Amino acid sequence: MAVLVTGGTGYIGSHTVIQLVEAGNEVVIVDNLSNSNKIVLDRIEDITGVRVTFYEKDLIALKDIEIIFKENKINSVIHFAALKAVGESVAKPLEYYSNNLIGTLNLLQAMKKYQVNKLVFSSSATVYGNPESCPIKESFPLSTTNPYGATKLMIENILKDICQADPSFNVAILRYFNPVGAHPSGRIGEEPNGTPNNLMPYITKVAIGKLRQLNVFGNDYDTHDGTGVRDYIHVLDLSSGHLKALQKLDTLCGLVIYNLGTGVGYSVLDLVKTFSEVSDRDIPYKIVERRTGDIGMCFADPSKAQAELNWHAQYGIKEMCLDSWRWQKNNPNGYEKHSR
């Protein structure tokens, strides 16, 4: 029996696939490669010694997704596939609603048809909107400040309704915070197409000389230095949380929801300073206007995941920066076509 990983050649998906394979799981990946690279499959094989089954398909096409379930014995699904840039979602809301919602509905239709009843859903702390206080608990009120977050919240509500209607369906919703870092081998990391939307890959591209400077969106937030504060979590910690969630679903738990974060908030300038220290590279930056849809502070209370999943973050901010820098330094041009 196999675990189907949607978006499995993406940043978080690829790290999770590695941990799944190393834990002895059979894995099937489906990805449309819109924000990833097929070379990731070679890198996964280099690290694990296993060539993972891969389908270059889009969840928007239901018939294509059904083929995957027909050709493989799928036991559970980890669903990463989605458009995910906050700023872009504000500019292109229709694209985000169409892709993220229709793709997920098609996946759920295929799961129902082929009687697959275990799903780990990649949600986000954006479903908390602009929280009144931190750290954020799973019981906090839910709202959104951008279309990307709205798609995540809508999907959460869809999953809740399905679980209520069908007690045999088991879902773990993982609301994770800000993934950074890379595999310690330096072979797998975050390589977005075009200009990065997330902070760490932008910093690493400035450090390597691909970008001139970092734009810091706002320095007038109610934080210790005026820049936005986030809960940065190492991608390996995040990946291990998905494996723990799969184990939880094996207990036929119904619907469960967990924050995955460190419980510690760092500002943009904190991250810049730490990265400069560990890389010995200057990171020039410029303060610019706030970005539409952003909030001032967001960090997790991860105690529920610690208690119920026996999971906790093991990596600190220096390790996150070191691994991100190693990835970028070893792959200055990202996943080059000739590279293996």
- Compute φ and ψ for 6, nearest 5 degrees: -80, 140
Q: Alpha-carbon dihedral of residues 331, 177, 267, 186, nearest 10 degrees? A: -20
The one-character DSSP state at 290 is P
Residue 183 CA to residue 22 CA, distance in Å, equals 13
Residue 134 CA to residue 264 CA, distance in Å, equals 10
Length of the chain in terms of residues written: 340
148 is known as an active-site residue? yes
Residue 259 CA to residue 136 CA, distance in Å, equals 8
Among residues 281, 262, 269, 263, the alpha carbon closest in space to that of 324 is found at: 281
From 96, 148, 221, 266, the catalytic residue: 148
The one-character DSSP state at 146 is S
Residue 76 CA to residue 56 CA, distance in Å, equals 19
Peptide bond into 135 cis (omega under 30): yes
Both tokens of 68, joined, read 């995957």
What are the catalytic residues?
A: 148
